[in-house]
Amino acid sequence: MSHWIEKTSIYHIYPLGFCGCEKFRSEAKDLEKGRILKVIEWIPHLKELNMNAVYFGPVFESFEHGYDTTDYYTIDKRLGTNDEFAYVCEELHKNGIRVILDGVFNHVGRDHFAFKDLQQNGQGSRYKDWFSGVNFGGRSPYGDNFSYEGWNGHYNLVKLNLWNNEVVEHLFGAVKMWIEKFGIDGIRFDAADCLTDDFIRRIHGFTRSIRPDFWLMGEIIHGQYNRWANQDMFDCVTNYQCYKGIYSSHNDRNYFEIAHSIEYQMGQYGNIYMYNFLDNHDVARLMSVLRNPAHAQCCYTMMYGMYGVPSIYYGSEFGIYGAKGQGADADRAIRPCLDLNNIPDRNDELLKHISKLGAIRMSLPAIQSGSYAKMDLKNQTFLFKRELNGDTAYIALNISDGDYTFRFGTQYGNLTDLLSGRKFAVNGGNAEITVPQNKSMILVNSDTAPKLENISEEIVVPEIPKSGEAPAPAEEPAPQAVQPEQPEPQNDGTRGLGVPDGRKIVIGGHYKHFKGGDYVVLNVAKDHETCEEQVVYMQIYDKPTVWVRPLKMFLEDVDDHGNVKPRFEYLPE
């Protein structure tokens, strides 16, 4: 069953930064007009970007940064009042924009009323069981006459006891109020891996009983994502695996990295609709981690073209920079106050690109929820397709040192690139599409292409060879003495046949790839995200280069056009 999230693009706002709030709540003075009303001024911008949901970071009363909640039922006075925020939500909904709030349910701040009662009444406090690890035989780092469990060693964040039913009812009451007063459409759960499974299942059932289409997303960084995202718990989780894979594959100019992550996730997680992002309130801005800023457009095309919901962190659509710092203000640079009419060094080309991606996503069901298949993969070029009910969209990316021509089969007579508006004639089912350097395309059937504003009537017709003449050869980089080994493209007559019994890897061993080229195995490592064993090996011809690929793939036999042989043949000394 489809869900509204499949047709959604999310705009992520960290409100305390976005609104230019004081660092501490106690510093807030003379707040006659709620700063959160600033969001209303940005609604035309959100619609220009084709955003139809806003995810707000913490908005409820806290002492400092929002994740140290002091009252789940009251908007932080640095932002405004409950009524002012309700008005913001009403205006967003009027404009077709859903609202998602940050639920910080693992811990509270030391100013939370229940913790203050514990400080005052000690063992006589009726709230002493609301918190984890309370021990009246010790002292806390803050000098309390008891010790307690802090989140990740941060004792300003007091861990809640989610096995206590009073705590759960207190949190559920807040969620009910959020839904009824603000009309929220979903919740992002902070530090979701620290929540109990029982709590996640209970809040899943509770929110579904109020709104069957309510959306739940958990913040998960490491581990197997379907441990938390399944039919009884969260709808999806934060896709940190591909977050890293996207910028890293562009920095290393190695699309094999992100392609591997995508295929691993499709195999492991099936239809779990991931929350995809390129930066957020906890990590450096994309432009501060990209080695080549010209790769930004391809990064965003990749994210929008992947399975899952895309998210833009406020300001990154303008290509702003921001790196994490040190000390108490480490996050200040990545959580700025922005004036929509005065964005420094704004990148309008990137802004326009992201706006187009949003329009394309809204118009193409194949991009929203279609299947994924890799078509052409090299280190610096990548072509994959998304398909749904017979409709296909091709996503092509090129970060090589020049233009690159993709050649592939298609059932369509003409293709249209929805990003540039260019149309391409297809010759006998064979498409030849040249993508400029550091550009991307989203290609669809010209006969059914959505009518977007940027679509032109220009048709690019490939030169058709005369009868008896061979087609012009593909553009290739200058040949080397021996081409570096690459994983084989699909449908080239080569397929893996599995690892024969008894075949083992030899560390330090000399191997020859079945297409040529000599290699030495350096070691076997484990993938940090998946724990899959990977062979680390170095080519010992031409320019020494270190490669990595899955151990099973390295050791398997392949069918090379009918000839069975090892993918890498061990050469004993």
Q: pLDDT by residue (tens digit) across 503-562?
A: 999 988 888 888 878 888 899 998 876 778 899 988 887 667 888 999 998 999 887 777
Spacing of C-alpha 268 from chain mean position: 17
pLDDT in tens, 131-176: 999 999 999 999 999 999 999 889 999 999 999 999 999 999 999 9
For 290-309, give the DSSP string: -SSGGGHHHHHHHHHHSSSE
Closest CA to 436 of 420, 456, 457: 420
- Say if residue 502's pLDDT is above 50: yes
Is 555 in contact with 544 (CB distance < 8 Å)?
A: no
Does the CA dihedral 426-432-434-440 come out positive or negative?
A: positive
Spacing of C-alpha 455 from chain mean position: 28
Burial (Cβ within 10 Å: 0-12, 13-18, ≥19) of residue 35 = buried
Measured in degrees and rounded to the nearest 5, phi and psi for residue 67 equal: -90, 5
Is 314 in contact with 277 (CB distance < 8 Å)?
A: no
- Say if residue 182's pLDDT is above 70: yes
Which residues lie below 8 Å from residue 1, measured CB to CB, with a gap of 6+? Answer: none
CA distance 298 to 380: 11
pLDDT in tens, 412-453: 999 999 999 999 999 999 999 999 999 999 999 999 999 886
Is 358 in contact with 346 (CB distance < 8 Å)?
A: no
Residue-level pLDDT at 32: 67
Neighbour tally for 400: CB within 10 Å: 16
Residue-level pLDDT at 542: 66
**Mean residue pLDDT across the chain:** 90
- Exposure string of 123-151, with b = 16+ CB inside 10 Å and e = fewer, is eebebbebbbebeeeeebeeebebbbbbb
Residue-level pLDDT at 495: 58
Residue-level pLDDT at 514: 83
Neighbour tally for 43: CB within 10 Å: 17
The residue with greater pLDDT, 328 or 495, is: 328
- Say if residue 467's pLDDT is above 50: no
* Structural domains of the chain, ranges and CATH numbers in brackets: 10-106+165-368 (3.20.20.80), 107-161 (3.90.400.10), 371-460 (2.60.40.1180), 494-570 (2.30.30.320)
CA distance 513 to 486: 10
Residue-level pLDDT at 456: 42
Residue-level pLDDT at 265: 94
CA angle 8, 353, 269 (to 5 degrees): 40
Q: In what order do the strands lie in the sheet with 568-570?
A: 545-550, 533-539, 518-526, 510-513, 568-570
Residue-level pLDDT at 407: 97
Which residues lie below 8 Å from residue 130, measured CB to CB, with a gap of 6+? Answer: 114, 115, 118, 160, 161, 164, 166, 167
